[in-house]
Structure 1
Amino acid sequence: MAQISSEETLIGQNDTPFFHPMPWARNPHLQTMLPRLLRRRVLFTPVWHRLDLPDGDFVDLAWSEDPHQARHKPRLVVFHGLEGSLHSPYAHGLINAAKARGWLGVVMHFRGCSGEPNRLNRIYHSGETEDGTWFLHWLQREFGNVPTAAVGYSLGGNMLACLLAKEGAQAPLDAAAIVSAPFVLEACSYHMEKGFSRVYQRYLLNLLKGNATRKLKAYPGTLPIELAQLKQVRRLREFDDLITARIHGFADAIDYYRQCSAMPLLNQIAKPTLIIHAKDDPFMDHHVIPDPDTLPPQVEYQLTEHGGHVGFVGGTLRHPEMWLEKRIPDWLKTYLGA
């Protein structure tokens, strides 16, 4: 049975700190949006590298430093969320925290998420583990076998959970952490169409449509939709029906959601893994919370009362603290080194 962490059970455990939200910012929407206001600037100079894939496409990597000079250092890989990138506050914040610990950090951008459209008639999705798996094995071949961990946020967290389950003990990772992952995609899609969550749906949908527009202009015919039809899309589920599902071989969005949700696979994770959810996450509801009896002992699950979606902002307004940037490295140091 997995280790289960809650605010009650964590009190007095220095090695498993629980989250204290900023006193005046307990609201889940404030927690979700604050990082974008407080972490606008990347605090290090990234080293960019375009990695060609076996099928002729590419993914872009953003390193914390020159990987050839730092090949001996423990590695931390970040898989971002839907339409995220290095410039997402959670991504560059954690990479900077890893760099401060003496680790080599890298963000693997999903296809088309680094600012330039990818070439082929495919994109990325919540269950597309092939690129992540290929990249992790490439990393091991190219830079040697040193302690390596991966962290997945939101969509990237669901993808990482699927990857860990599929690879099992053969996963080229020593440990992993997963934050705010939509483990039941269908339920999350319905939740995003209710109340204030529709604001987030509109924001994400505009990012997706903008990316798809750039791809259609750069590589006409690589998506199964025309620009005029794309402009009419009003829901994430509609986007997944018309584009994500069709180009990746699913019958429709619901088929995609049901085949790619990580929840049924969590019991197959063989590597030490920390999973963090907030009860008040506005992107999802109780359906994403796993039954502790189904989790293997190497999975530690932490459910906080507050935190929003990939927020978890503590401290004070004058001295804000990004809790994930301490919690995750503190947990991973057992596997990557202090």
Structure 2
Amino acid sequence: MSRTIVSADFRPPKGLANRHLQTLLPRLLPRRRLARDTEIINLPDGDFVELAWLRNAPVRHDAPLFILFHGLEGSFDSPYARDMLAAAARCGWRAVLMHFRGCGQASNRLPRAYHSGDTADAYWIIAQLAQRYPHAIKVAAGVSLGANMLVKLVAEQGGDGLDLAGAIAVSAPLDLAASADALNTGFARVYQRHLLKSLKRKIATKMSQGPLPISLTPHQLKELDSFWAYDNEVTAPLHGFASASDYYRRASAGRLLGDIEIPTLILHAADDPFMPGELFSRLPTPSDAVRVEIARHGGHVGFMERRGWRLSSWLARRITAQLNDWAALSPSTMGWSLQSASRSDS
């Protein structure tokens, strides 16, 4: 195993190691209550995104800033989002989530959506926040689709192109074609069907409001039953790709792991049902700026552990430890101390 790829210290509770159980558990537990303020940010192309700011943020203008990018059809209401934002706030960080276009409280304006390789909006938002909080340490985190997007962004922009001290990617589908295959197999089709239902509902609404650059009738849209089919007929033409294969090839961030210069933590479960088990064996060796922690169990954005008598998020605990480690360093000394990075029980 590469020295940049190590074992995570996540251990599931007895009887709760199944990958589908881990994936579904966070969605079955009571949702954490958090208050937010919504901010609309207009984009250069005339569209907009919604930012969800956690209330009771630090007063200090130079307080560290945690920026979260959600997964496919996720939002501020996603259990992992609330856990991660709350964890950052407990560490004294100002916490904000960027909704991808159309994933907030209002539909986006333009005849387009968002996709796994769409880095432009995140780049724009990070630049705006850099102007607003020039003296704050900033760390971005992405989950699932948002994680692939973030890894692609930090790889493309390098250490000088982004005002980020670090990045955290959770359950990132770094090989999109392989993930589309995995989600079209066995029980994982349940997740595929659920996500496609949400995606198709949004596109159907847009189709009823005006013409889109796709050659589908409402009935044909309804019949799309896999990500390969949906991405070939909707995602690709809507966002300038020749086909699903072209989209997966160009949008997958795994091929760029060796180019990353910003300290980046990747958290992954070997049993993630959204991906092949040997995901990292088919990807390039990560750069020295990357630390990949692979847990044997955890499912897709699951990582539920037992703390005392309660189930809780190991993911939030691991991120808390990482934010504390990074906040203790000045921007000039940001990097990997493998000893400190492994203190996930703090």
TM over 0.5: yes
1:235 partner amino acid? S
Deviation at 1:68, TM superposition (A): 9.4
Deviation at 1:288, TM superposition (A): 2.5
Cα separation, 2, equivalents of 1:293 and 1:189: 20
1:15 corresponds in structure 2 to none
For structure 1, which runs of at least 5 residues remain unmatched after alignment? 8-17
Residue number among 103, 111, 114 corresponding to 2:101 in the alignment: 111
Residue number among 313, 326, 343 corresponding to 1:322 in the alignment: 313
1:128 partner amino acid? D
2:205 partner amino acid? R
1:150 corresponds in structure 2 to 140
Does structure 2 conserve the Cα–Cα contact (< 8 Å) formed by 1:23 and 1:316? no
* SS of corresponding position for 1:169: coil
1:158 partner amino acid? N
Does structure 2 conserve the Cα–Cα contact (< 8 Å) formed by 1:2 and 1:299? no
Cα separation, 1, equivalents of 2:131 and 2:56: 17
Does structure 2 conserve the Cα–Cα contact (< 8 Å) formed by 1:80 and 1:109? yes
Cα separation, 2, equivalents of 1:195 and 1:317: 34
Residue number among 303, 315, 318 corresponding to 2:294 in the alignment: 303
Cα separation, 2, equivalents of 1:70 and 1:44: 21
Does structure 2 conserve the Cα–Cα contact (< 8 Å) formed by 1:21 and 1:313? yes
Cα separation, 1, equivalents of 2:299 and 2:30: 16
* SS of corresponding position for 1:321: strand
1:143 partner amino acid? Y
2:65 corresponds in structure 1 to 75
Cα separation, 2, equivalents of 1:49 and 1:257: 31
Residue number among 80, 96, 100 corresponding to 1:90 in the alignment: 80
1:28 corresponds in structure 2 to 19
Cα separation, 2, equivalents of 1:113 and 1:63: 15
1:102 corresponds in structure 2 to 92
Residue number among 241, 244, 247 corresponding to 2:238 in the alignment: 247
Does structure 1 conserve the Cα–Cα contact (< 8 Å) formed by 2:273 and 2:300? yes
Change (3 A) 1:70 1:233: farther
Deviation at 1:293, TM superposition (A): 7.2
Aligned residues: 326
Cα separation, 1, equivalents of 2:230 and 2:56: 38
1:126 corresponds in structure 2 to 116
Does structure 2 conserve the Cα–Cα contact (< 8 Å) formed by 1:22 and 1:316? no
Cα separation, 2, equivalents of 1:293 and 1:247: 30
1:215 corresponds in structure 2 to 206
Deviation at 1:60, TM superposition (A): 0.3
Cα separation, 1, equivalents of 2:149 and 2:268: 16
**What stretches of structure 1 move > 6 A for 4+ residues in a row?**
none
Cα separation, 2, equivalents of 1:66 and 1:124: 30
2:4 corresponds in structure 1 to 3
Does structure 1 conserve the Cα–Cα contact (< 8 Å) formed by 2:254 and 2:283? no
Deviation at 1:231, TM superposition (A): 1.5
What is the RMSD computed on CA atoms of the aligned residues? 2.0
Which whole-Å deviations, capped at 9, do the CAs of 1:36-68 have from their partners, x for residues lacking one? 111424x22111111111111000000112779
Residue number among 155, 160, 174 corresponding to 1:165 in the alignment: 155
Deviation at 1:144, TM superposition (A): 2.3
Cα separation, 2, equivalents of 1:290 and 1:299: 16
